[in-house]
Structures are given as C-alpha cells and as structure tokens.
Structure 1
C-alpha cells in the first residue's frame, strides 16, 4: 500500500472514530493544552529554525499571525493597515480556515505589506485533493451536526493542497510562493508581494 493510501485510510478511520466528538472552541482547545503545547510544538523545531534563518535581517516591522492560543486569529476580521509591514509570518495556524476565508486573509496580508515585503507561511498541507475535500466535508458536516454558529472559531484541521495554497497566494497579489522545505512536516512557503 502506498504512503498516501495508508495515510488516507488511517485518517478516514480516525474521523469515523471521532465522529461523535464535538468540535472545541479554539481558545478552549488551547487553554486545555497549555501545559503540554510547547512540548507538542517542539516536533517542528527545524521549521522554526528555518523561519528565523529565512526572515531578512532588515525586517523592522513583523506581524505574527496565529501565535498564542487562537484568540489572536479572531483579529483577521480587522484591517492590517496599508503597506505597514516588512514581513508577515504564520506557523501552524492557518490550516483551520476554509479557502474562502484564506482568500480574504491573504488579500489583507498582501495589502498590509510594504512593496517587496514577504509572507512566510509554515503550515500543515493536505497530501492530496482527496484529503482536502474530505476534511472540508467533515468540518462542514460537524459544524452542522453540533449546531456551531458561523461566528464560532473551532479547532479542526482543514488544510489545502500545496497547489491550492499557492493559487490563493498568487490570486491575492503575491509572486508565486516559493516552497522552501518541509523539514519536519510543516511546509514552508515564502511569498513576496508584487511591486
């Protein structure tokens, strides 16, 4: 059995096994895990190191999206300003958003960056269209199943394929994102604002 086939089989089984588990509100999810979260994130130590190495040394103003327990991500509803930031970074945070929401967010990020500014994204990427479509479907089904309001931000992974992620970035005004590496499971994409 090929790797993706085995992965998808295991994912489907896990989704089935957890189908009666309600989705947790994002801040509650992280509050319950504060004591073990740093240890959990240590699995991506190489990716964090790469982030610090890739970020240009002359960046004066950096916006970090998604650091913390999820409360900060609620701020995406707000404007980030116009040509205010040298760089925007986000690590393992944006895979909780549907593409429609990411489209809006990436446009705000691009508008908020100075000309030539960069967006450094490290995130969980779907292995294939089947995974992207499956997780989107289950996410929407569970929101309905548990009567979760549209305004509630809940913890559920809905990653996009690399191709879909890069397409959204390009459509938002970025030069096609350069995939830097995937050292420990987090795909890192460096996107530059078009001048």
Structure 2
C-alpha cells in the first residue's frame, strides 16, 4: 500500500471530494448540520482548521451569513473551490499547515475542525490543541468533528500500520502523508484536557463520526 503526501492526496480528489464526504462517509452529512447548530449565535470571528472546500461552512453560513471566517488548509485547490462557492462571504483563506501557522492570542470567538485531526500523533495534537486554547477568547470553545473509534485495540492497529508503511516507503518524520490514525473518544478528550481546556465532552456521534466540545 502506497500512501501519498497529504496535499497531493487532496489535490487529486478535490473535484469529487464534496460528493464523497456527503454520500460515502457515514455521519458527515448530518455532522455538518450539527456542527453549524453548535456554533454560538454571538460568534463573529471563527477559525476553521483544515477547512478544505468548506462543507461545514456551507451549513454555518446558512445560519450566520455575516460571520468572519479564517480558514487554514494545506491544499490550495480546496481553498480555491471554497472561495468560488462563497466569494461573497467574509473569508480569509490561508494556504499553510495549521501546525506551523501562528493563530494569535485570544483572537477568536470559536475554533472548529471537521474530519482533519485523524492523521496525526498524540504529541502533535496536544501541541496544536494548546495553540487552539491560547487563540480562543476566555470562556470560548473549540468544536471538533472527527473520525474516532471506541476500542484502544483499533487505535493501536492504525498507528502501528501507519508506522510500518512509513518505514517501508522511507518517509521522514514530520512529513504529512495521508493515512487515517483515528483515536478513541476517551483519548481525544484526554489530549484536549492536557492542552489546557477546562471542560471537554462528547456531544454527538453517528457511526465513527463524533463531535467533541472543549471549553476554555
């Protein structure tokens, strides 16, 4: 099994991405709607990490069309599609890795991510979650919808397979390649808690698509 660089993987699939996520990934269609419902009505500045083509923003803009959104994504082709769909919205789009980009301190009312965090290690995620916590205003929240599993055995299997494949392909540490490494819901909650969030809890789940809220 050959795995691809993250940006190459999504660039090659941008045209069929929206249809695939809505039709083929169980829980995503409903998850986009649910996430939009969970956004506080008084939010004016929103940060969307791994925004892709903006499927979650399609639903959020229906409820709050004047919200100011900063979207960060590694794949320029996806950001271009998002810009085409919502050219009339207050969008700031950044083509970068959200691990490297500086979000700012206490800048955003809320932060969201949808189906993007299940590719990374625990350590990388804890560092990122700490950045998210710092960029949120006091009392604000981070909403994550992601592919999560229940059993630790299942999580361990995916991480071991990822390690094995990366060794076979001689992929250096720190380079982003596409392979799913979902964590358990309990581990996700633990990582967010370790990152400085005061209250972390699961609010919704359909199949493996799960939404967690982390309050600062």
Higher helix share: 1
Gaps of 5+ in 2: 54-72, 75-94
Q: 1:55 to 1:113 in 2, by over 3 A?
A: same
Provide the residue aligned with 2:158 in structure 1.
135
Following superposition, the deviation at residue 175 of structure 1 comes to 2.4
Residue pair 2:49, 2:98 contacting (<8 A) in 1 also: no
Provide the residue aligned with 1:51 in structure 2.
35
Per-residue deviation, residues 12-40 of structure 1 (Å, max 9, x unmatched): xxxxxxxxx21100111111212211011
Which of 45, 50, 69 is the matching residue for 1:61? 45
The TM-score with structure 2 as length reference comes to 0.76
Which of 27, 35, 38 is the matching residue for 2:15? 35
Higher strand share: 2
Q: Number of residue pairs matched?
A: 173
Following superposition, the deviation at residue 127 of structure 1 comes to 2.6
Describe the SS at the equivalent of 1:117: strand
The TM-score with structure 1 as length reference comes to 0.84
Superposition RMSD on alpha carbons, in Å? Answer: 1.5
Which aligned segments of 4 or more residues in structure 1 are displaced greater than 3 angstroms? Answer: none
Following superposition, the deviation at residue 184 of structure 1 comes to 5.3
